[in-house]
Structure 1
Amino acid sequence: MAPRIRGRPAHTPGPTFLSYTPDGTKLVTVGLNNSIRVFHTGSDAEPTTIDNCQDNNTAVAAANDFFVIGCEDGTVCKYSLESNTFEGILTRCTLPIRDVALSPDGQWVAVASDELVVKVVNTSDMDRVMYLRDQPRAAKHVSFDKSGSSLSVSCTDGKIYVYSLSTEEPELIQKVDGLIKSLETESESSSKVIWHPDGRAFVAPTATRDMQVMSRGDWERQRVFKDGHTSDITAAAWSPNGAMLVTTSVDRKLLLWDTKSQKVLQTLDASDIRATILAMAWHPSENILSYSNNDGELYIHTNFVPEQLGHLLTKGLQPAPFIHDPLQDTSGNARRPANGLKNGLPERSVRRGTPDSLDEILGMEVDDDETADGFIVDDDEAGYAEETNKYGKRPSNGAMAAPAVKRRPYTQWQPQIHESFQPGSTPWRGNRKYLALNLTGFVWTVDQETHNTVTVQFFDREFHRDFHFTDAWMYDKACLNEHGTLFSCPPRDTHPAQLYYRPHETWTTRTEWRTQLPAGETITAIALSDSYIVATTSANYVRIFTLFGVPCRVYRQKSSPTVTCAAWRDYVLTIGNGPVGGDGRTQLLYTLENVKRDEVCQSEDIVALTEGTELQSVFFSDTGDPCIYDTKGTLLVLLHWRTSGQAKWVPLLDTTQLQRLASGKKEERYWPVAVAQEKFHCIILKGGDQYPYFPRPLLTDFDFKIPLCTSPTQTPNDDTTPTESEPQKLEHAYVLSSVQLSLLEDLLSATRASHTQKVELSKKEVEVDKTLIQLLAAECREGEERGMRALEIVGLIRDRSGRMLEAAQKVAHRYGREVLGGKINELAERRLVGLVDEEEL
């Protein structure tokens, strides 16, 4: 049925504005004359008129029991909807009011005027005022988000200022530049931010006459409603469930858009619209769209959405149109929330919508006739909810007879598995994501809707040239090293998943290659070394190829589902989900093997993670030692991994204990990149960021600092940053150098050591002993009572030649510790006898 247009002369010719009450029972309009009209939904009677108001009203916002209007004389007034009377002036400005917005709870009204400052006034106590001062020019529009904790200000300088109102002092959390058009406050064109009902994004008019969606948090541009208007947009509104968007412009076209596809569903052209529309509002629950124009008229469209599109309006809450919706993204580094929760919400918390509603995406499932606590909802107001049996159900034929048993759905317990991820990759933010990040370079992709564009950029551009290509396969994973770049893509349409390897240098004309996986098999993670290419798949297969595509290993991983993998030279590390622990989470198990020798170094050993911690990244160091980084910010290295049954995870750095975070004033986390040159290389993420983003971030490196148990040098109430004593520093240096020495000894025992490596090993051994000598000197300075601890330190000296023990004796004599010197001499003699016995044997 065609929409029935009801036009009413609400005010004298001129700009007219409107607002529905949240319950939808009333519609308030204001205009140039000194009257306010209150229309009652569903009634053809004349509206209620409130006379003797200010002239030239420019804005209105309504709550259920009151409304607020802004006037050109600079006043913001409050009126009662119960008595239809003036209640008082909330605030005054020296210049005209341009817009007002009420918070969802009706407690605050935001006021935009020709002044530079935006006021946020309490509607119950006008003395409580917050001032937003960061915008340099006058504000044209203000908009609260769904929660009321954020306020967007559309400024005449062409920027959007987003404030957090969760504290007494408002905080500017984002300044969005290049989105809206720079407009004067009296212009009919709009730059107003319209928040989506799901609260995760907003839409705003652009200078190109489109409607651009922007996500909050990462403030990235998402989908665009484009090519619909030929003139500046003057008004827009989301449907109550967010499934549709309606827009209008100076060209006097009224367009109804589908949120999911950004396609125009319906068009009302200039023949149906007599003047430029300045304000639009959907009825909160019925199929009614109302708008007012610059000719003093109000139009009410009943059955605005045609019958063939009515199903869109009856859906549950729909998601905002993201390019890559984080609620639906299960690839890359996306994490599955805690068991029993989906996106931080209980599985059975609200009423279920249609199968493609946002509630369904969030996993909220409740019986249609029941709420989460089991009570019946009287949806059709038929009164059946007033009379129920002991089971909370309607009896048949109105009798209270025992009903047929209806089994309530029980949630089947499932273990919480660790989702698969690709080391070094990030989730989508807007239309971009990093596929790989390491010390060789960066690989990122940009979603162009019909295809992707991939860029590979190197740090050393004298050795390698950057390259860029159009990606029709939609690669979602990549690995990069000095020899080549490896990509993989998921199955799509009729194309199966595939691997693509592109070497950087070759001595033949064409050596890049592709290979396809069997139908139905998805790649969960890939790895690239100097010798092999590794792919773990959804079938729990580990597929290993040579660099130029010769398959050499295919086997099924014992621990499943697979999580990730890494490779270095001839070694491959695979990780999968293992047995379930007491907390309901699966333990991660890793396997390390030498592909060339077909030898397993460690088989199904446990990845050491603490409770509530997930694996964030896994990689090999520059010397070939496996390293992991967890979500709590701890870097660990695998020690003695070449000997079966002897491997152990040793922490090299706890980033939460970094000196830069000791004051507690700095909020940052770290994105792992590599372990090289005995340092941890990472990207610093400021504020609440969890992943690096564009422009390309800078790399930072931190020295290792093994978290030891040390005595604090200051009381807990001391506000100054704690400092380590000299013995504490030396203790840490000893433990760290011992770990590094063990790693080097393991490496040289398994390979043919070069002369340089042997010299390095000798230096490491001397470094450990020198640290012990320095620690001995520190103990000797503490006094004679530390003698036994000092002797223990001497006993840790590795040098068998006697030179270090002689140095220890000299230290003891220098500080007058003669008894200690005698004990050290006895230890030296025992070691000498032991060496002689060893030679005789």
Structure 2
Amino acid sequence: MTDAEIKFAHLEGPTFAAYTPDGKYLFTAGQNSSLRRFVHGSPDEPEHIDREYGSNTGISITNESIFVSCEDGLVESYSTRMNGTYQLLTRFSLAARDVAVTPDGHWVAACGDDINVKVVNTHDTTKHMILRHHSKPIKHLTFDPSGSLLACSSVDGIIYIYSLTTETPDLLHKVIGIIPEIDVDSDISTRAVWHPDGRAFVVGQNNMDIAVVSRQDWGIKKIFAGGHSSDITALAWSKNGAFLASGDSKGNTIIWESRNQTIVSKRNYEGGITSISWHPTENVITYSTRLGTVYIQSKALSSDHENTLKLHLQPAPGFLSAGGDFVRLERRAEQKEDRSNRQEKTSIDDILAELEGDGEDDWLEDDDGAGYGERNENGKRAAGGLSLGVPSIKRHAYGSWSPDIHESLQPGSTPWRGDRRYLFLSLIGFAWTVDQKTHNTVTVEFYDQEQYRNFHFTDPLLYDKAVLNENGSLFCSPPGRGNPALLFYREHETWGVRHEWKTRLPDGEEVVSIALSNAYVVACTSNGYIRVYSLYGVPVKVYRQKHTPVVSCTSWSDYVMILGNGPVTADGRAQLTYTIENIRRGEVIQSNDVVAIPDKATIKNLFFSDNGNPMVYTSNGVLLVLQHWRSPGQAQWVPILDTAHLDRRIGGKKEESYWPVAVSQDKFCCIILKGGEKYPYFPRPLLSEFEFRVPVSNPPDEDQAKNDPISKLEESYVRESVLVSLAEDLVENTRAEEHEKMDVVRRNVSIDKILLQMLALECKDEEKQSKCLEIVGLMRQPRTLEMAIKVAVKYDRHALAEKIEEMRNQMEED
């Protein structure tokens, strides 16, 4: 039983209901070819429009128009004023299945059994676009809040993401393996329902869970799990995105709190749910069913959660707003009444008109006595202390701005694709998980199977992060299904006794990233805490990172490097910062310095190299090493390889990208991704290696290298100089072994050899004597200067030979 108001709106069959954006009307469409308009809060009978043919299959609404798709293939629009205004937008030869309108009401997208998607201008139907990249019919359509992206859910289980910012639509991405395959007339919803902040959307999955898909990489960000036991048939966000409502084929409805994916309300309505619509301003939600009935549920949320419904725009699940917390705005009664009467402004003209209008800043309070609330003789708001004649920028009281932050990253992991994903990829081995509907199964395999034993286990906790090293494996699970987040460490099985331990994090805390070294376990959490444990589970320390939200972490020996979101720059983007700490000594080596990545670039992976140097690989294909990182304030990010300039890619030879795995023996180890692939998939691909190459100049092709060998030597000198400085830092700051000390000597000899080759080439040109002398000044050993004198004499550069002799004598004296 339910206390909802019931409306018998249509004949038995799929029924659709939606509020106008201003909340004045509720429109319904169903199987009797009619549209009904209910006045919100009124007991009066609805007005209706009777269509001549075909049952309705979908509706989309603005304040002025209602758009309808029908089984007879027609896509039409009607005025919300019910004055008989009608327009045929387009038609299909087969049934139309869905319709969606952009927030500004200028464009309508429609799909049907004819496969192609049509996007039509509502003011001039001769202006239209056809989307053709899919091979099967599209069942559902949704525009993102900006109206620039269109998500098309195909019956073959693929979501096609189109960009409509140009005259020719671009296919941005195909989201594969997240939604199930369905029939064109199925009640199962595979609709991508965008969060109001536009950073993610939710879709129902085959296992009756609800996945949050990030717009950043089109991978699964969060899961609303364990709520439904039958197929998901409808999803809808509240106006501010703080809650998600879901319905299934058995009439069960759930309201989830989006921040932590917890259930706050459950109800059941007779008949399978076919659509859900939140009222834009009130604590009311409407469900339509397959029986043709519409349930208007007042007090949809309890008083404990109703205040959250009144907040400004909340971040999508897995994303954080500025400051990382939900900001609560206390709105006074007169403000609430004033804003409830405003229509949502979506166009630039509307926004400018609002900014220029009188009285739109009534929400400002002169709470510090500075005169902000006073008006001048013309009735305008005074500028307070800013009386320089420059107009001030007004801020909206309702709505918020959030900086562009760097999303969290677990090194070595990939998103879900189909029913499986890699939890970790490294040179030690790899771990992957498979979705078995009710649980997952985790498999770990090693490259050296003589030393390590592979293992496999059933995973009811749904581990979503993992790390492997020479000693053991670390897993963590997210909170959910009544369990808090959990860390699980397991030693590798060798000939001794295997040790393992588990620890549960406090309720409400989620692990963002984990790291494992040969000494410590590190977990960065959603509360900004850094939790450090010994390899036997003893908690070593807990502290809060200064720059949050935390992005990622990695560790080596006693060191841990943590990435976080730092200060926001003028372009609205948070700086990516890093901190390096020696856990054993409790010493911060580098504190909240900036990771030097280009604008709009992101981190694809971070790790320590085999000899302990911090590395990051960016989305534009550059591998950076942190030089002098053991010296506080002296660290620099040096590009050690730019994969866009590999020989195999010069001249467009290869269309490929690279998935970073590790750095070992001065080589970049990666997985080559062909075409437009972004992540490795199964079967497990082979590893490839590339030599370092510092981007000193444009890399020459084979013919250029023969004619200009100096550029190759210059790159070799810069590269070897970086590598020798890393080796010297290692020797100076650790108990270096003999082979590490010899490595420094060998690299210095290599640098001098390169400089001698450069000197021999430059000595051929009489006008380059100054450059030759500069090259000699870079040499590191007196013996090399003796050889440089011989080179100068060979090319009859006797004046140069004399100056080199002076330099050699000075070096010996020093």
Say yes or no: TM over 0.5: yes
Describe the shift of the 1:774–1:19 C-alpha distance in structure 2 as closer, same or farther (beyond 3 A).
same
Indicate the SS of the match to 2:309.
Answer: coil
Residue 734 of structure 1 corresponds to 717
Indicate the SS of the match to 1:464.
Answer: coil
Superposed displacement of residue 112, structure 1: 1.8
Residue 289 of structure 1 corresponds to 286
Residue 763 of structure 2 corresponds to 780
For 1:482-501, what aligned pairs fall within 5 Å after superposition?
482-485=470-473, 500=489
TM-score (normalizing by structure 2): 0.68
Residue 664 of structure 2 corresponds to 676
1:178 and 1:617 map into 2 onto residues whose CA distance is: 24
TM-score (normalizing by structure 1): 0.66
Indicate the SS of the match to 1:23.
Answer: coil
Residue 627 of structure 1 corresponds to 614
Q: Which amino acid letter does the alignment assign opposite residue 126 of structure 2?
A: D
Q: Which amino acid letter does the alignment assign opposite residue 772 of structure 2?
A: A
Q: Which amino acid letter does the alignment assign opposite residue 786 of structure 1?
A: K
Residue 251 of structure 2 corresponds to 254
User: Is 1:165–2:150 an aligned residue pair?
Assistant: no
Residue 114 of structure 1 corresponds to 113
For 1:464-483, what aligned pairs fall within 5 Å after superposition?
464-469=452-457, 480-483=468-471
Superposed displacement of residue 124, structure 1: 0.9
1:420 and 1:291 map into 2 onto residues whose CA distance is: 37
Question: Does the CA contact (< 8 Å) of 1:685 and 1:692 recur in 2?
Answer: yes
Indicate the SS of the match to 1:168.
Answer: coil
Residue 215 of structure 1 corresponds to 213
1:5 and 1:518 map into 2 onto residues whose CA distance is: 43
Question: Does the CA contact (< 8 Å) of 2:70 and 2:95 recur in 1?
Answer: yes
The one of 767, 790, 800 equivalent to 1:823 is 800
For 1:576-587, what aligned pairs fall within 5 Å after superposition?
none
Describe the shift of the 1:490–1:638 C-alpha distance in structure 2 as closer, same or farther (beyond 3 A).
farther
Question: Does the CA contact (< 8 Å) of 1:137 and 1:156 recur in 2?
Answer: yes
Q: Which amino acid letter does the alignment assign opposite residue 366 of structure 1?
A: L
Residue 410 of structure 1 corresponds to none
Superposed displacement of residue 784, structure 1: 1.5
Residue 351 of structure 2 corresponds to none
1:188 and 1:833 map into 2 onto residues whose CA distance is: 87
Question: Does the CA contact (< 8 Å) of 2:13 and 2:30 recur in 1?
Answer: yes
1:631 and 1:127 map into 2 onto residues whose CA distance is: 44
2:263 and 2:422 map into 1 onto residues whose CA distance is: 26
Question: Does the CA contact (< 8 Å) of 2:98 and 2:111 recur in 1?
Answer: yes
Residue 345 of structure 2 corresponds to none
For 1:641-680, what aligned pairs fall within 5 Å after superposition?
651=638, 653=640, 655=642, 658=645, 673-680=661-668
Identical columns (%):
31
Indicate the SS of the match to 2:716.
Answer: helix
Superposed displacement of residue 605, structure 1: 6.1
Mean Cα displacement is larger for which, 724-733 or 199-208?
199-208
Superposed displacement of residue 70, structure 1: 3.6
1:533 and 1:799 map into 2 onto residues whose CA distance is: 41
Residue 124 of structure 1 corresponds to 123
Mark the structure with the bigger radius of gyration.
1
User: Is 1:366–2:329 an aligned residue pair?
Assistant: yes
Question: Does the CA contact (< 8 Å) of 1:477 and 1:526 recur in 2?
Answer: no
Superposed displacement of residue 122, structure 1: 0.9
Question: Does the CA contact (< 8 Å) of 2:627 and 2:725 recur in 1?
Answer: no
User: Is 1:326–2:318 an aligned residue pair?
Assistant: yes
Superposed displacement of residue 786, structure 1: 0.9
Cα deviations by residue, 1:108-153 (Å, 9 ceiling, x for unpaired): 2222233221111111111111111122233344333444333333
Cα deviations by residue, 1:328-359 (Å, 9 ceiling, x for unpaired): xxxxxxxxxxxxxx53x5x6xxxxxxxxxxxx
2:287 and 2:432 map into 1 onto residues whose CA distance is: 45
Cα deviations by residue, 1:1-58 (Å, 9 ceiling, x for unpaired): 95365555757x8876555433333344556777654443344445445468556555
1:387 and 1:732 map into 2 onto residues whose CA distance is: 60
For 1:716-755, what aligned pairs fall within 5 Å after superposition?
726-741=709-724
Cα deviations by residue, 1:373-422 (Å, 9 ceiling, x for unpaired): xx7764788xxx999899579xxxxxx9xxxxxxxxxxxxxxx9x99999
Q: Which amino acid letter does the alignment assign opposite residue 258 of structure 1?
A: I
Describe the shift of the 1:305–1:27 C-alpha distance in structure 2 as closer, same or farther (beyond 3 A).
closer
Question: Does the CA contact (< 8 Å) of 2:177 and 2:416 recur in 1?
Answer: no
Question: Does the CA contact (< 8 Å) of 1:456 and 1:467 recur in 2?
Answer: yes
Describe the shift of the 1:307–1:609 C-alpha distance in structure 2 as closer, same or farther (beyond 3 A).
closer
Question: Does the CA contact (< 8 Å) of 1:194 and 1:237 recur in 2?
Answer: no
1:690 and 1:465 map into 2 onto residues whose CA distance is: 30
Aligned residues: 728
Residue 23 of structure 1 corresponds to 22
Indicate the SS of the match to 2:763.
Answer: helix
Question: Does the CA contact (< 8 Å) of 2:15 and 2:289 recur in 1?
Answer: yes
Q: Which amino acid letter does the alignment assign opposite residue 80 of structure 2?
A: L
Q: Which amino acid letter does the alignment assign opposite residue 309 of structure 2?
A: G
Residue 183 of structure 2 corresponds to 183
Question: Does the CA contact (< 8 Å) of 2:233 and 2:273 recur in 1?
Answer: yes
For 1:453-602, what aligned pairs fall within 5 Å after superposition?
455-469=443-457, 480-485=468-473, 500=489, 502-506=491-495, 508=496, 510-512=497-499, 514=501, 527-529=516-518, 532-533=519-520, 566-568=555-557, 572-573=558-559, 590=580
2:510 and 2:441 map into 1 onto residues whose CA distance is: 22
For 1:793-812, what aligned pairs fall within 5 Å after superposition?
793-798=775-780, 800-801=782-783, 805=786, 809=790
Residue 309 of structure 2 corresponds to 316
Residue 348 of structure 2 corresponds to none
Question: Does the CA contact (< 8 Å) of 2:452 and 2:493 recur in 1?
Answer: yes
Q: Which amino acid letter does the alignment assign opposite residue 369 of structure 1?
A: R
1:519 and 1:387 map into 2 onto residues whose CA distance is: 43
Residue 768 of structure 1 corresponds to 751
Question: Does the CA contact (< 8 Å) of 1:225 and 1:262 recur in 2?
Answer: no
Cα deviations by residue, 1:244-274 (Å, 9 ceiling, x for unpaired): 535354xxx42222324469822234xxx6x
Q: Which amino acid letter does the alignment assign opposite residue 265 of structure 1?
A: K
Residue 195 of structure 1 corresponds to 193
Question: Does the CA contact (< 8 Å) of 1:160 and 1:177 recur in 2?
Answer: no
Describe the shift of the 1:675–1:426 C-alpha distance in structure 2 as closer, same or farther (beyond 3 A).
same
Describe the shift of the 1:775–1:289 C-alpha distance in structure 2 as closer, same or farther (beyond 3 A).
same
1:669 and 1:21 map into 2 onto residues whose CA distance is: 46
Question: Does the CA contact (< 8 Å) of 2:728 and 2:744 recur in 1?
Answer: yes
Indicate the SS of the match to 2:252.
Answer: strand
Q: Which amino acid letter does the alignment assign opposite residue 823 of structure 1?
A: L
2:35 and 2:640 map into 1 onto residues whose CA distance is: 67
Superposed displacement of residue 778, structure 1: 2.8
1:15 and 1:558 map into 2 onto residues whose CA distance is: 51
Q: Which amino acid letter does the alignment assign opposite residue 252 of structure 2?
A: L
Cα deviations by residue, 1:559-592 (Å, 9 ceiling, x for unpaired): 9899967444xxx3356899x9999999866566
Cα deviations by residue, 1:743-762 (Å, 9 ceiling, x for unpaired): 556777987876x8898777
Cα deviations by residue, 1:466-490 (Å, 9 ceiling, x for unpaired): 2234578998886533344467899
Describe the shift of the 1:801–1:263 C-alpha distance in structure 2 as closer, same or farther (beyond 3 A).
closer
User: Root-mean-square deviation (CA), in Å?
Assistant: 6.2
Structure 1: runs of 5 or more not aligned:
328-341, 348-360, 394-399, 401-415, 715-720
Describe the shift of the 1:165–1:807 C-alpha distance in structure 2 as closer, same or farther (beyond 3 A).
same
Describe the shift of the 1:223–1:637 C-alpha distance in structure 2 as closer, same or farther (beyond 3 A).
closer
